[in-house]
Amino acid sequence: MSWKQSLKEILEKHNKTAARGGKAVSFATQAARKEALERGFKELRALNFKLENVRHFKARHMTVLAQAWEQKALLASTIQNRISVFRTFAEWIGKPGMILGAEHYVKNPQSVKRHSVAQTDKTWSGQHQTLSDKLANLQAQDPVVAIQLELQRAFGLRMREAALLKVHQADKGSHLAVNWGTKGGRDRIIPIQTDYQRDVLARAKLLITHKAHSLIPVNYNFKQWKNHYYYVCHENGISRKEGITSHGLRHERLNEIYQTITGQVSPVKRKDSEEKNAFNSELDQIARQEIVEVAGHSRSSVSSAYIGGQS
């Protein structure tokens, strides 16, 4: 039996339910688990750990993978999420408790420590760059990738939300209804407040041949489009290595909202004491609540991950 066949059998038996409790999980969760496991076992083979049956997976294999991810400087949240999938997988193959916390598998425990408060400015402006500087080349290479990046910048969308957005249906005039590709299935509405937002939506509609379609070209599925999207981004200097990411455009918009409401730059952008002295706690709270609603979160404290902690 090949590793692919053994993994397929396990997924068919277990992937539709939660790790505990037996409740059904979403198709998105199923797809994410499948992708993470397939990627992980392919990486193991590339590292000369060629398991013919994935049921032979052991803790030492988790260490090999985690340290490879650590060496690639993946985000702490990414490493933790991937290890969590393998923890669930271990339960599926009758090895509950085998996979411990992420810190047990990396060389530097700090590399898998999440920060709920932004420690650094992840906006493009914080790196002295703007999307407009790259748009001409992006539009020449792939106008659909370009418009999705603009949607992230204009509305603070996640990559998946921008790609799956059915623009004709989502544009409600006064607001944008974000109902596709949301994290945890948490739909939301985002006010349409600027000329730039309206312009981006108008140009996005021109790229869609059918009003019921999303912004993923019909000859791609989401996984294929995601790979293409990040390839185009990388080709245009949009990568963690270059100091800017497409997700940084979401940070840009959310920090912009903070400044619009409070009249001050966000805490993560503040440098001098004069700006700190101008802090208004009431406006700060209003801005944070608006930010989490636009971002699609439920707790105002999550705003700290984008704009920094309260002064």
DSSP 11-22: HHHHTTB-SSS-
| Cβ atoms of 79 and 117 closer than 8 Å | no
The pLDDT assigned to 146 comes to 98
The pLDDT assigned to 112 comes to 81
The pLDDT assigned to 276 comes to 54
Tokens of 133: 């500087």
Give me the residues paired with residue 63 across strands.
none
Spatial distance between the Cα atoms of 119 and 99, rounded to a whole number of angstroms: 29
Q: Largest alpha-carbon pair distance within the chain?
A: 67
The pLDDT assigned to 311 comes to 57
The pLDDT assigned to 76 comes to 83
Closest CA to 236 of 139, 165, 128, 101: 139
Tokens of 234: 């990388």
The pLDDT assigned to 26 comes to 80
The pLDDT assigned to 17 comes to 86
The pLDDT assigned to 219 comes to 94
Query: pTM here?
Result: 0.70
Closest CA to 149 of 188, 191, 192, 203: 203
The pLDDT assigned to 302 comes to 82
| Cβ atoms of 291 and 254 closer than 8 Å | yes
- pLDDT tens digits, 191-241: 999 999 999 999 999 999 899 999 999 999 999 999 999 999 999 999 988
CA dihedral 209, 247, 302, 194 (to 10 degrees): -60
The pLDDT assigned to 273 comes to 44
Q: What stretches in the chain show pLDDT beneath 50?
A: 273-274
Residue type, 168: H
